[in-house]
A and B are shown apart, each in its own frame.
Chain A
Amino acid sequence: MNKNKESLHLSSPAINTHMNKRSQIWAAFRSAFPYTIPIFAGFLFLGIAYGIFMHSLGFSAIYPIIMSFMIFAGSMEFVAANFLLGAFNPMNALFLTLMVNARHLFYGISMLDKYRGTGKKKLYLIFGMCDESFSINYTANVPADVDKGWFMFFVTLLNHLYWVAGAAIGGIFGSYVKFNTEGLNFVMTALFIVIFIEQWMKEKKHYSALTGLVLSVACLILFGGNQFIIPAMLAILGVLTVLRKPLEKAEVSV
């Protein structure tokens, strides 16, 4: 009896911290979820479009499900579908992926500080750092009493789930879709235009946004659609490096 009591007593602090942790995680989930609602609709829509797209190419539903789960990079999955239809060339697939997804390098650099101190969750945060998770986690104002690590974890996880769910629905029910889906892929363009406007309205100075836009267009004209990303990234990097001194000066004086 006595022994039992003692063990109960001993375990209660552990239970307490356990409960605290759970309520902390729950609080993070609750504040993260609203941020993902637009992505819920967007990704379900996009994911379904992707699933239908894969179906129209003749792939069974398991392809979009596995690919959306493991790659979790929207535009790349559309490109990957084309790899699967062409001749077997794994090195080409790797290099094209590196080129198309090279922008993630910039996301990573932007998130170095924000992902710091998130423990084991960091691995998943980096794994799931798609365009949308990055832009939410970068721009969201997390309340001070909410654990930032868990907040970003749930943003990433929910987005991942929406995407896989959408791809699964599109892949499985793609054959029932009778309407003409030509042009549905514009939903991605629209999404990034909206994120661009949001970011534009949030910032005071637009040097960086304009640099990105103008140099990307210039490189697209110079190098063509299949080869412009790397030159555009290098040009952006170069110009922003040159602008560092004047930009930081301006920031101090404001």
Chain B
Amino acid sequence: MTMTMTQQMITIAMVVLGTMLTRFLPFMIFPSGKPTPKYVQYLGKVLPSAVIGLLVIYCLKDVSLLSGSHGIPELVGAAAVVLLHLWKKNMLLSIAGGTVVYMVLVQLVF
């Protein structure tokens, strides 16, 4: 480890600060005392679905289709999650099953 303890503490504090800024900012800009603008209310309704889609892609951002394993383990793992979930609708089973499939692929096959 190249950092001193103080430097590590500052780095962690920066991550805390950045995280809290992103969480508190909307509530500071639109305080509950005042009515929220209609446009922001609309965004509050439609954003969740879109942002969950963004989260899925965010998790896969480091996958390279052109090199290495060409994203095949990720594709198969994701497909396993989707199929398990459509089949059994059990959140834990889908997550655990897909993860095991992925781990087997990256450790033993690719």
| A positions within 8 Å CB-CB of B | 38, 41-42, 45, 58, 66-67, 70-73, 75-77, 80, 83-88, 90-91, 93-98, 101-113, 115-117, 122, 126-127, 129, 131, 134-135, 138, 180, 182-184, 186-200, 203, 206-213, 215-217, 220, 225, 228-229, 232-233, 236-237, 240-241, 243-244, 247-248
Contact = CB atoms under 8 A, between A and B. Distances in A.
Contacts of A213: 53-54, 56-57
Given A112-B40, A126-B23, A71 B56 contact: no
Given A70-B12, A97-B15, A184-B103, 7 more contacts: A42-B95, A94-B15, A106-B43, A107-B51, A108-B24, A110-B44, A211-B50
A101 B20 CA distance: 9
Nearest to B31: A112
Secondary structure at the A interface, as helix, strand, loop or mixed, is: helix
**B contact patch SS:** helix
Contacts of A207: 46
Contact of B60 (A38, A58, A189): A189
B82 A183 contact: no
Interface string B85-110: 11000011011101100110111000
A212 B81 CA distance: 19
A98 B22 contact: yes
Contact of B41 (A41, A113, A193): A113
